[in-house]
Amino acid sequence: MEETPTITESEILADVIAPDQGDLTTEVAQSILRWKFTDRALARMNDLAARNHQGTITSQERQDLEKYLRVGSLINILQAKARLSLKPGGQGGS
C-alpha cells in the first residue's frame, strides 16, 4: 500500500486562502502588507536559526523555530494575496 504524502499547515492554509485570487479590498490588502515581525521576534528567529545551523538547538528551541516558520509562511501567503488584490483587475485594484 502506498503512503499518502504528508501535507503541511501552510499548504492547507494556501488552499483555503487562495493566494492566487486577488479578492481582498484595498483597505484590507494594504493592512495585511503592513504586517511584519517585530525586531525582538526577528532577533529571536535569527538566534534560533544560528543555533539550528550550529547543531546546538534544543528540542524546545526547535519547536519555537518551527512555530516562527509556520507563522511566517502564513504571513507570506496572505501578503501574496494582498499584493495580487492591489494589482489592476484584482478586487482592491478596481
Cα(74)–Cα(80) distance, rounded to whole angstroms? 10
Inter-residue contact 91 to 22 (CB < 8 Å)? yes
* Residue-level pLDDT at 3: 80
Q: pLDDT higher for 2 or 14?
A: 14
Task: Check: pTM over 0.75? Answer yes or no.
Answer: yes
pLDDT tens, position by position, 34-83: 999 999 999 999 999 999 999 999 999 999 999 999 999 999 999 999 99
